[in-house]
Amino acid sequence: MGLRLAEQRDISALTEIYNQAIARRCTADTDPFTVEQRQGFLDAHRDSAYPLYVLEHEGQCVGYVYLTAYRPGRKAMRYLAEVSYYVHDSFQRQGYGSQLLAFAINMARQLGYRQLVAILLNTNEGSVALLEKYQFERWGMLPDVADFDGQTCSHLYYGLRLREF
């Protein structure tokens, strides 16, 4: 088991895992993606300052994690990164999310970020618990902004200070 940079051969697994998150309403996307539609996502993380890592267990991709710029192009935000992570349905609640998040925190520190932010739906209780386990604090909420066929939920902002200014 280990983390490694994502490769082209991972595109099917990345797509499957993200589509599972869509089905569970753990993301604001509502329609599943095809492999072709997700290709741009993978391409955007190749040779970038924001690489995409996959977590393998017995040769299978069980999850992935990546950092992205928060408010790209706005120089004053350059020390803040957004963290995103996803775990395959069959591997939920087995510690893989913890491995992914711990890796991302360490990566962000090494890259010189001062804060991390995770943006998620309030119905994603597993991620809320995981973020709080790693000392993320709720920094904000946009109430009832996501609408799933008449059922609304809120967008949460969880943050972690990695270092003082």
The pLDDT tens digits for 26-46 are 999 999 999 999 999 999 888
**10 Å Cβ neighbour count for 56?**
15
CATH number of 2-161: 3.40.630.30
Q: What is the mean pLDDT of the chain?
A: 94
Q: Which residues of the chain have pLDDT under 70?
A: 1, 164-165
Give CA–CA dist 64/66, Å, rounded: 7
Specify the pLDDT at position 164.
62
Alpha-carbon torsion, ordered 8, 115, 97, 39, to 10 deg: -20
Amino acid found at 83: V
pTM over 0.75: yes
User: How many residues would you count in the chain?
Assistant: 165
**Structure-block tokens of residue 26:** 């753990």
Specify the pLDDT at position 36.
95
Specify the pLDDT at position 1.
65
Give CA–CA dist 121/128, Å, rounded: 9
pLDDT tens digits, one per residue of 60-84? 999 999 999 999 899 999 999 999 9
